[in-house]
């Protein structure tokens, strides 16, 4: 029980500080891009490896594409409308109420 309350307190603290957390994450992403531009590449196997900031931009765009694809799959295959199962009538509930 102690672990659950600790986890709940940590999650609540993160939600309460959402604006600060968002700013920290954006700052961290910007720092990664700056480091990628400043630090010279150790080796350049492909022509695009020498472009400053390319790997950070590539990773960011890839992450956005993955999130978009998974959201599209979720809405297209998993999500159902509220009345998908016939609205308010629930045949199993009606049977159990007769007993």
Residue 92, domain member (yes or no): no
pTM of the model: 0.52
User: pLDDT at position 99, please?
Assistant: 47
pLDDT at 94 over 70: no
Residue 78, domain member (yes or no): yes
Q: Which domain holds residue 60?
A: 2-83
Residue 20, domain member (yes or no): yes
Choose the weakest-confidence range: 6-10, 23-27, 88-92.
Answer: 88-92
> How far is residue 13's CA from residue 17's CA, in Å, rounded to a whole number?
6
Show the CA angle centred on residue 78, arms to residues 75 and 82, nearest 5°: 85
- Average pLDDT on 58-84 reads 86
pLDDT in tens, 19-53: 999 999 889 988 988 888 887 777 778 888 878 88
Our count of domains for the chain comes to: 1
């Amino acid at each position: 029980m102690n672990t659950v309350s600790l986890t709940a307190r940590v999650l609540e603290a993160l939600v309460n500080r959402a604006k600060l957390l968002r700013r920290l994450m954006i700052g961290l992403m910007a720092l990664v891009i700056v480091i990628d531009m400043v630090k010279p590449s150790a080796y350049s196997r492909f022509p695009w490896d020498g472009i400053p900031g390319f790997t950070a931009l590539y990773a960011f765009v890839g992450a956005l594409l993955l999130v978009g694809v998974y959201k599209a799959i979720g809405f297209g295959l998993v999500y159902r409308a509220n009345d998908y199962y016939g609205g308010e009538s629930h045949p199993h509930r009606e049977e159990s109420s007769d007993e």
